[in-house]
Amino acid sequence: MKIYKNTGNIDTRSGFGAGLAELGKSNPDVVALCADLTGSLKMDEFKDNHPERFFQIGIAEANMIGIAAGMTIGGKIPFTGTFANFSTGRVYDQIRQSVAYSGKNVKICASHAGLTLGEDGATHQILEDLGLMKMLPGMTVINTCDYNQTKAATLAIAEYEGPVYLRFGRPKVANFTPEDQKFEIGKAVHLTEGNDVTIIATGHLVWEALEAAKILDEKGISAEVINIHTIKPLDETAILKSIRKTKCVVTAEEHNFLGGLGESVARTLTLNHPAPQEFVATNDTFGESGEPLMLLDKYGLNAKAITEKAEAVILRKE
């Protein structure tokens, strides 16, 4: 099987910051708005180099979304930045009414998503955001897996016309995708070829899926790993092609199993090609304060959990 090399752990939010800084130089229409978390969102370089295009809104996330929507009318491409919980749950009404309903070209960029926010605990660890955002008509939903992919996605969404939700995180995680990659919205990325089970992962769990595939390979099980960075629109063609071959699937995400990637895959299978599926996701629960790796272990969001689910789903094949 193909082995991917981790070039060094780095947080995905830094990939967003690097991409935004590059856009500041290349696209004069890009503007950035932040809700009092400039450092946490890695927006400092953009702010320092383009102060006339940076807007510190303060702890007023609803206002930030409304201002961003208005800026699009003048041809600007606004990137909003705050924690995922504040980017979605706190301002859902403003996103629905001012951005999604009228198809405004706002890029909603959300850091510190999921359990790996860590010590800040359940009030900040949103595990429902992918579901909230994918239900909005016309909203593109992206959840990247490493620094390089997050930077590439940030550059790509600036060229895309329409509202986008870009989700990334706080912890330092493996950086393993190509530095010069072309990010294609809505296109799955095949990481390994396999015949026994398909593992479809998104975000931080993509690297865990690759680690699980190595464990499975040592046991004589051939796993096909697919990186789904775009939750909506979902690459149903790639998913169905793989599952028709392997005849079973495990989905893995740092999100509630209700409303996330796994549920979208299940719907695709139900409508097109029913097959056994196991879920690696949080089980209709809130998170808690703790170190990121400890939380992922407690809630079953790691390579060990993916391996166990893969072995279980294979037994369910006809």
Q: Supply 115's token pair.
A: 């359990």
Distance CA 22, CA 217 (A): 40
Beta strands per DSSP E along the chain = 10-11, 30-34, 54-56, 77-83, 107-111, 140-143, 164-167, 172-173, 189-192, 197-201, 223-227, 230-232, 249-256, 277-282
Whether 249 and 194 have beta carbons less than 8 Å apart is answered as no
For residue 51, say if its preceding peptide bond is cis, omega within 30 degrees of 0: no
Q: Which of 52, 61, 193, 218 is catalytic?
A: 61
Active site residue 318: no
**How is residue 116 written in tokens?**
């790996």
Q: Which two tokens stand for residue 47?
A: 């702010």
Q: Cα separations (Å) of 196 from 83, 163, 199, 306?
A: 38, 38, 10, 14
Structure tokens at 71: 């800026």
C-alpha to C-alpha distance for 280 and 261, rounded to whole angstroms: 10
Q: Which residues are catalytic?
A: 61
